[in-house]
Structure 1
Amino acid sequence: CADCGKRFLVKGELTQHRHVHTGERPFTCADCSKSFSCSSSLTLHRHR
């Protein structure tokens, strides 16, 4: 990561990590409009 120096073996993990620095939350719940930075958090939210 250019911002914090953290390294990743998989490019997708770096892409997801970048959301920490950008504040981007691209995954949005269709029911309540709450947004998440990673798809797994949205999946957990939906099952609650």
Structure 2
Amino acid sequence: MEGKKLILIAQGAVASGTVFKHQRFCSLTGLNDQGMVSAMSQVSKLKKKVVL
């Protein structure tokens, strides 16, 4: 999975420490962390990174 892009999509509030765990997971697996979305207002900032 090394080099693959990953965006974490969380419904509702994100618990403290989730961002660190997400970044750590990406670091350990070699995934390319593209960010995290937990609210509709954040979708636009990551929309350009998603290729369908």
What is the TM-score normalised by the length of structure 1?
Answer: 0.31
TM superposition score normalised by structure 2: 0.30
Name whichever structure is richer in strand by fraction.
2
Higher relative contact order (CA 8 A, sep 6+): 2
Please tell me whether Structure 1 or Structure 2 has the larger radius of gyration of its CA atoms.
Answer: 1
